[in-house]
Structure 1
Amino acid sequence: MNWLRSFLDKIKPNFEKGGKLYFLHSTFEAFEVFFFVPNKVTEKGSHIRDYVDLKRLMTHVLIALVPIVLFGMFNVGLQHYRLQLGIEIDAWGQVVKEAGFWRIFWYGFLRVLPIIIVSYVCGLAVEFASAQIRHHQVNEGFLVTGMLIALIVPPTIPLWMLAVATIFAVIFGKEVFGGTGMNFLNPALLTRAFLFFAYPASMTGDAVWIVNKGLDVISGPTPLALAAQNQFAQAPSLLTMTLGFIPGSIGETSKILIVLAAFYLIFTGVVNLRIIISTLIGATAMGLIFNLWGANEYMQIPFYYHFFFGGFLFGTVFMATDPVTSAQTPIGKILYGLLIGILCMLIRVVNPAYPEGAMLAILLMNVFAPLIDHVVIQQNINRRKKRALLSQTIKS
């Protein structure tokens, strides 16, 4: 990389103050920081340095997402050829045997790659434009957001819709609040919410989850849709749902890979364990209440099946734990996670119009996270005041 370092050092004066290309200073700095660690040093005061900066945090998340992306590509191809061959959903091994592993993978690769490219190009274009206008540094935050956006949409999403939604989410969900670290809503989930409410026909129903262009067949519903329609008996086996060989958004299907990603992110300290555990506890508690109530077939579904439906696990690991939009205090994180789990189950089971409750639950709690932190901090202040007053009373 010495040649690249030499090349950047050679052209750098053109982008510094007084240079001919100073108006592109933020763009140049973004590319330089992407390849090399900034050579900035502190000039005064005491500082504690840690090797885990924003770029390294984003790198850990991307590493955790790579297996999920590759599997998502394979599963998109698998579902396509399953429909083409007319094979039952649990017989995915037969699909691989008849269609061939690489044929399946390359089909999915060619369907998913344009979605990833559009997500990155549109989002980064807004980020770079905003940085140039404000003369701010371009942060690495969208490296993860761009990938998450691609993983939470159906493989059949029209690219122009994805472009519009991504631009909207980055501008109105992030840049208007000051950019990376200042937004209070998760940009990836905001993109999905925009698509969900603006173009519901492309985000819901049984026809959007499997690429069936050119096939005279009807796409199958997701397990979550079957449960919402009181047709749980027709759902795939628990093994098939765990492995992820089911219709769904590109990155949400393989539960085993999501769990492995969660362990990796917890081990590297990127995500907060309190939020993950409390979200699972909240969903479990609400699921058990519905099981005891049992007013309809959906409520009678064992609570643990909800962990394998839709994007609950993916949202818990990658969305709810967003360090920017989640609660910041230790107790606040627990309350935040509990409420996400409870709301997700409530929206899923009680409101049939929105079978996927994870998106709305997390976005709603993003809004209330600052209030939760405020209440927790205020309670601590009041408790200390009472303790101080009691101490003064005893002394007097």
Structure 2
Amino acid sequence: TVLLIPLIIPVNTPLWVLALAVAFAVIIGKEVFGGTGMNILNPALTARAFLFFAYPGEMTGDKVWVYGLKNNPHVADGFSGATILGNFATGTTGHNPSAHDLFFGFIPGSIGETSKLAILIGAAILIYTGIGSWKIMLSMVLGGLLMGLTLNVFAVNDYMRFPAWEQLIAGGFLFGTVFMATDPVTASQTETGKWIYGFLCGVLAILIRVLNPAYPEGVMLAILLMNVFAPLIDHYIVEANVNRRMKRLKRVAQAV
């Protein structure tokens, strides 16, 4: 949690805000539910949601700090530039980065979301070690891709026309897919439930991102919402399995 929070907030966020986010994640996101392994919401995303609504000036806007311009004597460390999702949210689509820049991370944004290559390496490590579920990752990508294609078909603006596959490498979609949605505590626990949970995370992330201009990035809200519904999904999956087995036992008993 402590390592993930700095990766999902703007790089120019004041340190006192970062400290407050970590404290909120640990105390409210975890401890009030009984400690590690008992929380119902992803602690890192809970902290980001808290900052998003409590300190919107630090978390929102269409400009973010961008490192560069070393040879410019008028810029000491960086400059402000719009993210690709910020451009779409404000209707400014003339100077968006290429797919190459989106994939390798030559774009403005939070530290964790920029390099998709690094995220894929992290995904491979999580899958190899068994910490992250490949079913959740794959189903979330499929859900996001399907929703992106659906929006492409019914497009009425530039954001809806944005290619579905590029939606997956823009913003924090892949980072959320790999490191947030796969949280073993707050995600679905049943094998079938993981497919449903991940798919709905992907669908909602793109849907919120594109259709609600107030939230240019919908991954956070989508995953938190599905964290709430994950136990319900597992409940119905388990109930369906129990009913199926009971019917099988009845058929066996009748045959005997």
Taking structure 1 as the reference length, the TM-score comes to 0.61
Superposition pairs of residues 237-252 of structure 1, within 5 angstroms: 237-252=98-113
Residue in structure 2 matched with residue 309 of structure 1 by the alignment:
170
Instruction: Spell out structure 1 runs of 4+ moving beyond 4 A.
Output: 211-215
Task: Write the distance in 2 (CA, Å) between the matches of 1:209 and 1:270.
Answer: 33
Task: Write the distance in 2 (CA, Å) between the matches of 1:237 and 1:186.
Answer: 32
Contact 2:63 2:86 in 1 (8 A): no
Encode CA deviations 1:151-179: one digit per residue, 9 max, x unaligned.
11111101111222221221111011111
Coordinate RMSD, CA, aligned: 1.9
Residue in structure 1 matched with residue 35 of structure 2 by the alignment:
179
Residue in structure 2 matched with residue 157 of structure 1 by the alignment:
13
Higher relative contact order (CA 8 A, sep 6+): 2
Residue in structure 2 matched with residue 15 of structure 1 by the alignment:
none
Superposition pairs of residues 29-178 of structure 1, within 5 angstroms: 145-178=1-34
Q: Secondary structure of the residue that 1:219 maps to in structure 2?
A: strand
Pair 1:295-2:156 in alignment: yes
Contact 2:87 2:93 in 1 (8 A): yes
Identity of aligned residues (%): 56
Task: Write the distance in 1 (CA, Å) between the matches of 2:245 and 2:157.
Answer: 48
Encode CA deviations 1:104-148: one digit per residue, 9 max, x unaligned.
xxxxxxxxxxxxxxxxxxxxxxxxxxxxxxxxxxxxxxxxx1110
Gaps of 5+ in 2: 69-73
Shift of 1:289: 0.6
Task: Write the distance in 1 (CA, Å) between the matches of 2:45 and 2:255.
Answer: 53
Structure 1 149/223 Cα, relative in aligned 2: closer, same or farther at 3 Å? same
Shift of 1:390: 2.4
Shift of 1:251: 1.6
Pair 1:275-2:136 in alignment: yes
Contact 1:151 1:250 in 2 (8 A): yes
Shift of 1:214: 6.3
Q: Secondary structure of the residue that 1:327 maps to in structure 2?
A: coil
Task: Write the distance in 2 (CA, Å) between the matches of 1:207 and 1:276.
Answer: 29
Pair 1:261-2:122 in alignment: yes
Aligned length: 251
Superposition pairs of residues 194-205 of structure 1, within 5 angstroms: 194-205=50-61
Q: Secondary structure of the residue that 1:379 maps to in structure 2?
A: helix
Gaps of 5+ in 1: 1-144
Q: Which has the higher helix share?
A: 1
Residue in structure 1 matched with residue 71 of structure 2 by the alignment:
none
Q: Secondary structure of the residue that 1:209 maps to in structure 2?
A: strand
Encode CA deviations 1:71-113: one digit per residue, 9 max, x unaligned.
xxxxxxxxxxxxxxxxxxxxxxxxxxxxxxxxxxxxxxxxxxx
Residue in structure 1 matched with residue 235 of structure 2 by the alignment:
374
